[in-house]
Amino acid sequence: MLKFVAVDDEPLALEVLDGYLKRTDGVDTVHLFRYAADALQYLENHAADVLLLDIEMPEMTGLEFLKALSDPPLTVFTTAYRNYAFEGYELGVVDFLLKPISYNRFQQAVTKVRELLALKAQQTNIEDAPGGGNVDFIFVKSGTQRIKLRFDEVTHIQGLKDYAIIYTHTGKLLLKGSIKAMLDIFPRDRFVRVHKSFIVAVQKVTRLERNRIVLNNYQIPIGRNFKEQLEKALQKP
């Protein structure tokens, strides 16, 4: 059962989100706020699982709001402006919903949130870091299971606050640790950082489109400061 908080200065936008949440199974409580200051005070004193957050608000932008929270919930941006996607990735935002938001697209975001919460509950951690040389895998521990994670199965890694989502051909793992920490674990001759929040497996990159990498069904942004090292990595035999 999920606890939601929605923040938007537009009453109609809040009404739409409230209607969508009432149609969604597994929702415990919903708190709606038109004023960012009220929502900020509430979240500093109450727990929530998901934050639905507008960006362009008069007294405080969604970006400023998120930075002001000491321990933000999983956050989904809801906005009419496309150009905030990169900032959202850097703040660990789970999804980015462009207004007008359809119910189906909203449900996709909720599904993504549920998947991340389920992965987080598994408490998966790296058990053995590679010892150097020609090691092609690491072991991760999930509950009582030890899982062998081969480097050649990994397509990309996404940083999400204090966690890293490891994407493979068959699924995802959520590991405790920053994106920077992942650079010390995954071999740098096979993985390259392309954004503050993303690492990709060099051999899995097959298509570039302007400032993003298209990898399977994922679109991965390329940060301005990482373009040069990506080009160098792609040119290696």
Chain segment 24-68, per-residue pLDDT in tens: 999 999 999 999 999 999 999 999 999 999 999 998 999 999 999
Query: Please, where are the H alpha helices in the chain?
Result: 11-22, 36-43, 62-68, 85-90, 103-121, 179-183, 227-235
Indicate the pLDDT class of residue 142, thresholds 50, 70 and 90.
confident
> Is residue 175 scored above 90 in pLDDT?
no
Is the pLDDT at 203 greater than 70? The verdict is: yes
Distance, CA of 93 to CA of 188 (rounded, Å): 26
**pLDDT score for 55:** 93
Residues spanned by CATH 3.40.50.2300 within the chain?
Answer: 2-120
In the chain, what percentage of residues exceed pLDDT 70?
Answer: 95
Highest CATH level, class, for 2-120 = alpha beta
The mean pLDDT value for 19-23 works out to 96
Summarize the confidence of residues 194-206 as an average pLDDT.
91
**Pick from 190, 215, 184, 218: nearest CA to 202:** 190
pLDDT category of residue 209 using cuts at 50, 70 and 90: confident
Contacts of 141 (CB under 8 A, 6+ apart): 124, 125, 126, 127, 147
The kind and range of the H/E element at 173 are strand 172-176
Q: Give every strand in the sheet of 208-209, ordered side by side.
A: 208-209, 212-215, 218-221
CATH 2.40.50.1020 residue window(s) in the chain:
123-235
Q: What are phi and psi of 179, to 5 degrees?
A: -65, -35
Note whether 117 and 74 are within 8 A (CB).
Answer: yes
Give the pTM: 0.78
Q: What is the pLDDT of residue 133?
A: 53
Q: What is the pLDDT of residue 126?
A: 75
- So what CATH class is 123-235? mainly beta
Report whether 21 contacts 27 (CB < 8 A). Answer: yes
CA dihedral 220, 222, 223, 229 (to 10 degrees): 130
Maximum mean pLDDT: which of 10-14, 141-145, 212-216: 10-14
* Closest by Cα among 63, 36, 88 to 97: 88
Higher pLDDT pick, 34 / 207: 34
